[in-house]
Amino acid sequence: MKMTTDSFIYNPCDEEEDDMALACCHASNGDLFMLARFPDEDEVDITFRDDTIHVDTRLMVTFSATRLLVEIDTEDAKPFGGEYAFEITHSTPPSELGDLDETLRIILKGVGTYVSEVG
């Protein structure tokens, strides 16, 4: 699934949500995509549109200054209609890339593979 967004909403520790780390965006067509993780859990919640899955392995995320690529196992993708790769083109301001990268590192620590091309 290819998506385009202006920027992400992100928070490394949302105190109102039990310290959950999250990174989410709305695509230009209105679709919601979100990665989230509570500090005491060993899995990442991935939400696409109205469906959420919980992934504890088989997750690959690549982040660059203009793209976020999230790849999940095809078995995990069933609730998403089989969509297993989400390529999100973004125009996050350069001044925010480091903070978004830090948030993604928190979300993905110890779960799957995270590749950052930022900083």
pLDDT in tens, 21-65: 999 999 999 999 999 999 999 999 999 999 999 998 889 999 999
Q: What whole-number percentage of the chain has pLDDT above 90?
A: 89
The string of DSSP letters for 23-76 reads EEEE-TTS-EEEEEE-TT-SSEEEEETTEEEEESSSEEEEE-SSEEEEEE-TTT
Q: Give pLDDT, residue 15.
A: 77
Residues 6+ apart with CB under 8 A from 17: none
Pairing of strands 2-5, 85-90: parallel
Prediction pTM value: 0.93
8, two tokens: 């992400």
